[in-house]
Amino acid sequence: MALKTANLELYIYTGTEGGYTSTDLKYTLQKSIVGDNTKILFEISELVRDYLSQTFNNDYVSQAVWVTSVTTLFDDNDTVFTYGSPTIETFLALDGYGYFEDEINPELTRNALLTANTIYLPESTAGKLAIFAEGVGKVTIDSVDTEITDNGNTNQKIQYVTIPADSSTIQVYDTDDTTLLRTIIVNNICEPKFTPYKITFVNKYGAYQDLWCFKKSIETFNVTDERYKRNTVVNNSVEYPLYNGQEERYNTNAKQSITLNTGFINEDSNSVIEELFLSENVWIRKDSKTLPVIPKTKTLTFKTSVNDRLANYTIDFDFAFNKINNVR
């Protein structure tokens, strides 16, 4: 008998691998063979993403879930295939993405969860480095080792190693603690004139990444309102007071925006700017508060050392809330 139909059950949960129950069953899907095809394909990424919630308050908490798929195959007689059915597989899911050039279902990285090998921090300021714990044994920052342990829980999969203030070199090692995987250079920027702002966003690996903007910043304020005309005549005296306007405002509110400049960064950081522009979750640290923002700039011209020598990026952000609180 030939393959006819496949049933797919998706369990999405946190905790340890395989530790799911019936309450973790989120989707039950069924597909049949189409035409002369010999395989049945399920696309589950968007379904799983519904259970990856990005909530950031300057706390750097791991965002990962286990996905266990139970696949049952049926033949032309609707009889369960005995060979390899049902098939149970478990995957770790992060809120990341691949580019077109990465081809289908890429595994992007298993060490430091950032693309660039350069980090910029203000002087005397600590930073954070996202690490995929399954693929890293230790992180060495200026000859000081931090051992990476993974107990199998989803809250351990992405770990954020603290970069001490005024560090210079980060080395990321494989699980054997001897094989060097990456070297990341930390640049400590002295900015005596402007106030640096920290932008945090979810990068292509599904991890929180910081981008500091060191140079000139501009805040703007855009008011929106509606108007109506009213009758101000007082019937008893058949007159109208001059202090009562004919036009009245209502539904008044405002949106704030901020324009930031990164300061001079090297060509290696182009990927950071690109991922920031593509991120759906972005925050700014301002006045000791973590506030959501949306990148307003939609066009990016990459700057290179050959064409531009020194690269400074100007980025506009809208604050993702109204100035007058109308949260209901």
Q: Which tokens in the block code for residue 287?
A: 């006045």
pLDDT for 82 equals 61
Q: Any idea where the domains of the chain sit in the sequence?
A: 3-93, 118-218+255-319
Distances (CA, A) of 162 to 26, 28, 131, 139, 140: 35, 41, 11, 10, 11
Look at the chain and count its residues. Answer: 328
Half-sphere exposure of 47 (CA within 13 A, CB side): 17
- Quick count: other Cβ atoms within 10 Å of Cβ 74? 18
Tell how strand 180-189 and strand 118-122 pair up: parallel
Task: Find where tokens 């920290």 sit.
Answer: 198
pLDDT for 168 equals 97
Tell how strand 247-261 and strand 218-229 pair up: antiparallel
Q: 132, 60, 52: which is closest to 93 by C-alpha?
A: 52
| Mean pLDDT estimate for the chain | 93
The per-residue pLDDT for range 44-86, each reduced to its tens digit, is 999 999 999 999 999 999 899 999 999 998 887 777 766 667 8
- Report the b/e string of 250-277 with b at 16+ CB within 10 A: eeeeeebbbbbbbbbbbbebbbbbbbbb
CA–CA gap between residue 194 and residue 288 (Å, rounded): 17
pLDDT for 77 equals 77
SS3 for 260? strand
SS3 for 3? strand
Strand order in the sheet with 138-141: 118-122, 180-189, 169-173, 138-141, 144-147
Q: 92, 165, 164: which is closest to 133 by C-alpha?
A: 92
pLDDT for 84 equals 64
SS3 for 146? strand
56-70, 171-185, 252-266, 296-310: lowest mean pLDDT where? 296-310
Half-sphere exposure of 322 (CA within 13 A, CB side): 12
- Calculate the CA 225 to chain-centre distance: 33
The per-residue pLDDT for range 149-200, each reduced to its tens digit, is 999 999 999 999 999 999 999 999 999 999 999 999 999 999 999 999 999 9
pLDDT for 3 equals 80
Q: How confident is the model at residue 4 (pLDDT cuts 50, 70, 90)?
A: confident
Q: 177, 171, 110, 170: which is closest to 137 by C-alpha?
A: 177
Q: How confident is the model at residue 206 (pLDDT cuts 50, 70, 90)?
A: very high
Confidence (pTM): 0.92
Show the beta-strand stretches assigned E in the chain. Answer: 3-13, 25-32, 65-75, 87-93, 118-122, 127-132, 138-141, 144-147, 158-163, 169-173, 180-189, 197-202, 208-213, 218-229, 247-261, 282-286, 289-295, 314-319
Q: Residue range 258-287: average pLDDT?
A: 96
- Residues paired with residue 172 on neighbouring β-strands, in sequence order: 139, 182
pLDDT for 153 equals 95
pLDDT for 79 equals 76
Model confidence at 260: pLDDT above 70: yes
Model confidence at 275: pLDDT above 80: yes
Task: Check: CB of residue 206 under 8 Å from CB of residue 94.
Answer: yes
For the chain, percent of residues with pLDDT exceeding 70 = 98
Tell how strand 247-261 and strand 314-319 pair up: antiparallel
Model confidence at 270: pLDDT above 90: yes
- Report the b/e string of 177-203 with b at 16+ CB within 10 A: eeeebeebebebbeeeeeebbbbbbbb
